[in-house]
Amino acid sequence: MLRFACPFCHFQISVSESDAGGRIVCPACSKTVAIPATRFDNGCIIGDFIIQSKIGAGSAGTVYLAQQISLEREVALKVLLHKNMTEKGVATFLNEARAAAKLSHVNLVQSYAVGEDDGYSYMAMTYIRGETLKSRLKREKRIPIDEALHIVQQVAEALCYAWNESRLIHRDVKPDNIMLTDDGIAKLTDLGLAMNQKDWSEDMDISGSPSYMSPEQFAGEPLDTRSDIYSLGVTLYQMITGSLPFRAISISTLANQHFNQKPEPPERFVPGLPSTVSTLIKKMMAKKPSKRFADMEELLDAIWRLRQITAPNRSFVPDVHTISIRRLNYGIQTEYMNNKRRQDRIQRKKAEAGRPSLFSRIMLIILPVALVAAIAIYLFSDVQRRTQERAMFGNVDAFERLASNPDIPMERLNAEAASLTMEFTGKTAGSDRISRYVLSHINYLLAQRTDKEAPADGSAAVSAETTAVLENQISLLNDEIANMKTKTIPRLKDEVDAAIKDGEYYHSQLITAQLELAKSNDKYNALSKTREEELAASDELRINAVRQRLHQLIVTQRFSVARQILTTEQLRTPRIESWCTEMMRRIDFLDRVYAVFADDDVDLDKISQDEAEKAYAALYGDDGRSRETILCAFEALRGNYDKAAELRPEDPEIPATADAVAEELVSAARTLHAMGEKKLPSTFANTISRLPKTPQTTAAISTINVLYSGFLQKN
């Protein structure tokens, strides 16, 4: 039997294969439809799936884009070819389906369902919008170094997960089995040859793609995850160099090359290739498993450390086990490197001109620091000098108290004087005059004490000698005082004034530099604010586009597809995650409201609000929601956002959705106008009448009226 879906009402029609290519009247809608010519034409039904188009073919089977009827989602439907419908072929096919079904990872293609229909075995898998790595290599020959490492890192994440979860060995890692999605995700496919490590036996068939097989895989030896590391290394070699490491006409020659021959070093194909990348490839492709990385964890760590050095921008490199699902914009990275090189050239030209702006800025910062340091050194030395002088005068005061005490013997005074004289000898130059003054004062005190202790016979010899010494010391002291007043003190004052003036100058320079820094900070903050505003605007555009799609799905009651879209948007644009979560909650509630009428297959437009409220209460009872909330959801299901806005005027999402719908109507009207359509369908007027009057919906109505000359007034 041949089953297909009516293109008008989607009713499933079954006919004999002998009627293929003919025409039949649909029992549901009574319209004449064409019967598909072959079993796998568009519209044919296989199991729970409607075939939409053919997207690929291989040696094992053909892959179609299909719609799963029960869950309303797109899948990749792989149908096993008749020539492979052998016991071994079916076993391999089922092995792939079971292995893919057990594993769920962002970098693995997951199996949804497997079955048989009319003698054909099929398997439904994740549908990937993108291309194989093989197709990209065929088109571009080589992959940029960091992007190649990014792809290998993601595939290694998938292999690491499969090994840790199920001790699974892929055995067929190659560009044909690596899909690159439009979102920049690398997904490992085709687990048909995958095997659990414990299932290995000596009599197992040797399977795999010879150009990528490890030496132990050729030899039929026990395998582990290091065999996949070898195959992944060959794939990385091909991405970097644009060619395979080994080529031969026969499989035996190719096997011998894998066992004994060293591949051409990749740097010979790519001049300037970092030696670390070449070392990574060589270790992955080591002939003996013991010479390779011990496991995928060690490989992932090595790739991450390598990309920290080689990546144009390290912020693009995801951590191990946190593979980013966003596309790495290598255009941005290239632009970043070009801008950096351009700035380096500009700086070199400024240096050659002798007036580098960067040097001036650095000097504005260094000179005030140097001035502060000089002042600090001067103040420190001045404090030391003053401390030294205070110590000297303190010693003199102590000696003066001893000399004034008549009970202190002269011998002790002479000893103290000798000790002080020795201490003051060799003082720094800055204290020479003060030292001489102190020594003179000590001699004066000794002479005065000696004069008081003169012999009782009135001998004048000692007194005259003492007087001469005192006069000489006083003369020296007066000379020192005059020298300090006329030379030392004015000079020190001039030096202090000059230092203060220099300090004021450098302080003003420091303030100027601080002002320039503040201006730079203000400019940076302004740029950051602008960037945030651009991101907010981009998010709003994205939300608006999603609103348009959700509106179409809601009014056609396709809630599961709406949930899939919101889940995808949460992963694709994390900044709008909170909005997606709120919309997911709304979709769940709308689905619940629609469930009240789903079994009756009624026309929502013909149900009154009172009937809707009673039907909801009959099914769910009083669940705490207000009447306005329930009726608002009901009006949203009918696409009547005008009444929904009246019921919940405080809800901003309703006018926002209406604005998105109005934007969609304008876009459709412009498209039809560009195609030469003379008038619009009447549904345009019906849809617009259901929208609340917001500035954007009003502008949309005006635009449509301009395009179609008063269309809304005519309808």
Tens-place pLDDT, residues 515-548: 888 888 888 888 888 888 888 888 888 888 888 8
Q: How far is CA 393 from CA 46, 420, 430, in A?
A: 111, 11, 15
CA angle 439, 441, 447 (to 5 degrees): 105
Q: Is the dihedral of CA 491, 493, 498, 503 positive or negative?
A: positive
Phi-psi region of 150 (alpha: psi -120 to 50; beta: other; left: phi over 0): alpha
Q: Which helix or strand (DSSP H or E) is residue 186 part of? A: strand 186-188
Which residue is listed with tokens 């555009």? 541
What is the identity of the amino acid at 150? H
| 38 touches 26 (CB < 8 A) | no
Q: How far is CA 657 from CA 297, 546, 636, 697, in A?
A: 47, 10, 10, 10
**Which residues are 681's β-sheet partners?**
none
Classify burial at 421, counting beta carbons within 10 Å of its beta carbon; exposed 0-12, middle 13-18, buried 19 or more: middle
How far is it, in rounded angstroms, from Cα 210 to Cα 251? 7
Q: By C-alpha distance, which of 385, 398, 489, 475 is closest to 436?
A: 475
- Gyration radius of the chain's alpha carbons: 46
Q: Which pLDDT score, from 0 to 100, does residue 514 have?
A: 86
How far is it, in rounded angstroms, from Cα 177 to Cα 187? 8
Q: Active-site positions?
A: 172
Q: Which helix or strand (DSSP H or E) is residue 506 part of? A: helix 489-555
Which residue is listed with tokens 């997904």? 187
Q: Which pLDDT score, from 0 to 100, does residue 151 have?
A: 95
How far is it, in rounded angstroms, from Cα 283 to Cα 303? 12
How far is it, in rounded angstroms, from Cα 412 to Cα 684? 122
On the CB side of 400, how many CA atoms lie within 13 Å of its CA? 11
Classify burial at 104, counting beta carbons within 10 Å of its beta carbon; exposed 0-12, middle 13-18, buried 19 or more: exposed
| 195 touches 217 (CB < 8 A) | no
Classify burial at 41, counting beta carbons within 10 Å of its beta carbon; exposed 0-12, middle 13-18, buried 19 or more: middle
Q: What is the DSSP string of 287-312?
A: SSGGGS-SSHHHHHHHHHHHHHHHSS
N-term to C-term CA, the chain: 48
Q: What are the start-end ranges of the E strands in 203-312?
A: none
Q: Residue 461's CB: how many other CB atoms inside 10 A?
A: 9
Q: By C-alpha distance, which of 15, 1, 2, 73 is closest to 44?
A: 2
How far is it, in rounded angstroms, from Cα 659 to Cα 697? 6
Phi, psi angle pair for 100, to nearest 5°? -70, -30
On the CB side of 388, how many CA atoms lie within 13 Å of its CA? 16
CA angle 684, 690, 696 (to 5 degrees): 80
β 130-132/186-188 pair status? unpaired
Q: By C-alpha distance, which of 168, 162, 68, 56 is closest to 115?
A: 68
How far is it, in rounded angstroms, from Cα 35 to Cα 24? 7
140-193 pLDDT tens trace: 999 999 999 999 999 999 999 999 988 999 999 999 999 999 888 999 988 877
Q: Where do the domains of the chain lie?
A: 2-128, 131-330, 360-519, 543-714
Q: Quickly list H helices, 607-676.
A: 609-620, 627-637, 641-647, 653-674
**Which residues are 126's β-sheet partners?**
75
Q: Which pLDDT score, from 0 to 100, does residue 96 have?
A: 73
Q: What residues in the chain have per-residue pLDDT under 50?
A: 324-326, 332-333, 336, 428-430, 456, 458-462, 715
| 440 touches 479 (CB < 8 A) | no
How far is it, in rounded angstroms, from Cα 77 to Cα 100? 14
Q: Which pLDDT score, from 0 to 100, does residue 314 have?
A: 80
- At the top level of CATH, the class of 2-128 is alpha beta
Q: Is the dihedral of CA 25, 31, 36, 40 positive or negative?
A: negative
Q: How far is CA 218 from CA 168, 171, 251, in A?
A: 18, 11, 10
Q: Which pLDDT score, from 0 to 100, does residue 678 have?
A: 79
- At the top level of CATH, the class of 131-330 is mainly alpha
Structure tokens at 662: 């109005």
